[in-house]
């Protein structure tokens, strides 16, 4: 997306990245003299009310959340035919980029990221919001090492009953829960927790739990193959963290943590070198129904 400076209050500094709906720029909000992330809807979509409403909806959801581990929304508008959403700019990198650079993370850092993302999800859940696309690319790590959850474009708020992405599964195959892969309308907070589990699995082992060579094979694995125990892939990971991730990746949502608050209790136990409240035999029995 190329254009002259069309925004009165925003000076575009550089292009950060692009997605299906638009482009994100690093910009300066001149009146406040602060650097922001400026998300601009693609001009080809700006004439479609559905996509304009999706951008507005994302802004409303972000605006309803106020948590140190969730990117803050600042402004929403339209100028010169461009629809835009302005957010906090995070000086740092995505977890995806860091995984590509480092391969895997020490357990202490896996726990820190897990606790911070779970805290963000707990805040959102209390306000009726599920993210529906938790993955390393949507987790930013700032220069101080703090987590910032971003990209609420697929999030579902308390009044959104049938939101889906046209003709596609909502979510990312490597990190999507079985129930969400079958039907996006099945997604609830436990689906977000599954996706967090898949993310923590990759942090601890260097690879996602499933890796089919096509989307079809990958989804088949998500639906039908038990996730391996993290400590079987990386023996350096503690039994406690392995059990927590195993529970997060249960095929049956009823066997997972039911809320982010429940997960936080066990993550903090593991961080204190205490045993989490996980029944491995029950999870393994459920696995045998799939394996």
98 and 125 inside one domain: yes
20 and 119 inside one domain: no
47 and 106 inside one domain: no
Instruction: Pick the last residue of a domain from 37, 71, 88.
Output: 88
pLDDT of residue 154: 62
Q: Which stretch of DSSP H or E encloses residue 150?
A: none
In sequence order, the 6+-apart residues with CB closer than 8 A to the CB of 259 are 122, 125, 189
pLDDT of residue 213: 82
Q: Assess whether 133 carries a catalytic annotation.
A: yes
4 part of a folded domain: no
168 and 223 inside one domain: yes
82: nearest Cα among 33, 44, 50, 36: 44
Instruction: Pick the last residue of a domain from 67, 88, 109.
Output: 88
214 part of a folded domain: yes
Residue with tokens 């009165």: 8
54 part of a folded domain: yes
pLDDT of residue 272: 97
What is the residue range of 47's domain?
10-88
Indicate the pTM of the whole model: 0.91
106 and 247 inside one domain: yes
pLDDT of residue 3: 55
CATH, residue 24: 3.30.200.20
Strands (E), 134-285: 139-142, 147-149
2 part of a folded domain: no
260 and 280 inside one domain: yes
Over residues 2-54, the pLDDT tens digits come to: 555 678 899 999 999 888 788 999 999 999 999 999 999 998 898 899 999 98
33 and 149 inside one domain: no
17 and 81 inside one domain: yes
Residue 153 has pLDDT above 70, yes or no: no
How many distinct structural domains can be found in the chain?
2
185 and 61 inside one domain: no
From 75, 133, 183, 232, active-site residue: 133
Whether the Cβ atoms of residue 44 and residue 18 lie closer than 8 Å to each other = no
78 and 179 inside one domain: no
115 and 67 inside one domain: no
């Amino acid at each position: 997306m190329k254009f002259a400076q069309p925004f009165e209050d925003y000076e575009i500094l550089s292009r950060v990245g692009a997605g299906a709906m638009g482009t994100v720029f690093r910009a300066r909000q001149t009146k406040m003299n602060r650097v922001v992330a400026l998300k601009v809807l693609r001009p080809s979509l700006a004439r479609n009310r559905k996509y304009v409403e999706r951008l507005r909806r994302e802004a409303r959801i972000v605006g309803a959340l106020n948590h140190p581990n969730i990117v803050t929304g600042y402004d929403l508008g339209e100028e010169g035919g461009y629809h835009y959403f302005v957010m906090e700019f995070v000086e740092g990198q995505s977890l995806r980029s860091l995984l590509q650079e480092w391969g895997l993370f020490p357990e202490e850092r896996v726990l820190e990221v897990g606790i911070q993302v779970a805290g963000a999800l707990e805040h959102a859940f209390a306000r009726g919001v599920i993210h529906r696309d938790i993955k390393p690319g949507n987790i930013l790590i700032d220069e101080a090492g703090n987590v910032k959850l971003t990209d609420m474009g697929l999030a579902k708020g308390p009044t959104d009953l049938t939101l889906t992405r046209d003709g596609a599964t909502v979510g990312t195959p490597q990190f999507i829960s079985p129930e969400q892969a079958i039907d996006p309308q099945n997604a609830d907070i436990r689906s977000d927790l599954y996706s967090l589990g898949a993310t923590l699995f990759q942090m601890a082992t260097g690879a996602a739990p499933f890796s089919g060579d096509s989307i079809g094979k990958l989804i088949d694995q998500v639906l039908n193959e038990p996730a391996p125990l993290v400590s079987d892939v990386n023996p350096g990971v503690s039994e406690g963290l392995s059990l927590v991730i195993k529970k997060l990746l249960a095929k049956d949502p009823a066997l997972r943590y039911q809320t982010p608050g429940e997960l936080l209790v066990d993550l903090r136990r593991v961080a204190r070198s205490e045993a989490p409240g996980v029944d491995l035999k029950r999870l393994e029995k459920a696995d045998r129904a799939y394996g």
